[in-house]
Amino acid sequence: MEATTLLRKQHQEVNALFKQFEKADSASQRRKLFVQIADNLAAHATIEEKLFYPRAYEGEKLQHLLREAVEEHLVVKRVISDLLEMEVEDEQFDAKIKVLKDLVVHHVGEEQDDIFPQVKKNISRAELIALGDEMEQMFDQLITTEPRQNVPGETGRAALLH
Ligand SMILES: [Fe+2]
C-alpha cells in the first residue's frame, strides 16, 4: 500500500476511536479506548518520524512543513503523557482528550492537504508502495508492544528529521 494511503487509513482509524471514546459510558470502556488511542498514535508517530518524514524531507517547502509536523507530534506526545498519568475518572480527563483530538485533527489536516500532495510529486508510486509496506510492518510490530509506554520518554524535544 502507498505510504500516504496507509497513513490516511490510520488517521481514519484513530478518528473512529475518538468517536467511540466520546460515546463510551463506562470507565472501563473509556480506559480501554484511551489505551487504544494512545497506542495507535504512538506507533503512527513512530513510523512517520522514523521512515516517512526523513524520506519526505526534501525541498524547502516540505522541510518547513515537516519541521512543523514534528513540533505538533511533540505537543501530541506531551498531552498523551499527561493523560497516561491521569485516571479516566479525573474531571479534567475528557477535556484533555478533547484537546488531544483537536491537535490530531489539525495535524492530520496539514499532512493530508499540504504534505502528502507534495510528497506524491517527489516520490514514485513504486517507491511509495515499498515505503508503505516497510511502515506497515513496523507499525504491526510496534502495536503489539504497548508503544504508548515510550511516549513519556519522547517529550523532551521534537524528533530529528535527518
Ligand atoms: Fe503525523
State the CATH number of the domain containing residue 66. Answer: 1.20.120.520
The verdict on residue 153 lying in a domain is: no
Calculate how far, in angstroms, residue 57's C-alpha sits from the geometric centre of ligand 1. Answer: 14
Give the tens place of pLDDT for each residue, 25-70.
999 999 999 999 999 999 999 999 999 999 999 999 999 999 999 9
Mean pLDDT confidence for 108-127:
97
Q: Which three cell numbers stand for residue 148?
A: 504508548
Separation of CA 38 and ligand 1 centre (Å): 13
In a domain, 159, yes or no: no
> What's the 3 CA to ligand 1 centre distance in angstroms?
12
Query: What is the CA(2)–ligand 1 centre distance, in A?
Result: 16
Q: Which residue has the cell 510492518?
A: 137
Give the residue numbers spanning the domain of 21.
3-147
What is the crossing angle of helices 3-23 and 93-110, to 10°? 160
Per-residue pLDDT tens over the stretch 80-100: 999 999 999 999 999 999 999
Rg of the chain over all Cα atoms, to the nearest angstrom:
16
**Residue ranges near ligand 1 (ion) with Cβ within 5 Å:** 48
pLDDT of the residue at 57? 97
- Domain count within the chain: 1
Decide if 161 is inside a domain.
no
pLDDT in tens, 119-144: 999 999 999 999 999 999 999 999 99
Residue 155 located in a structural domain: no
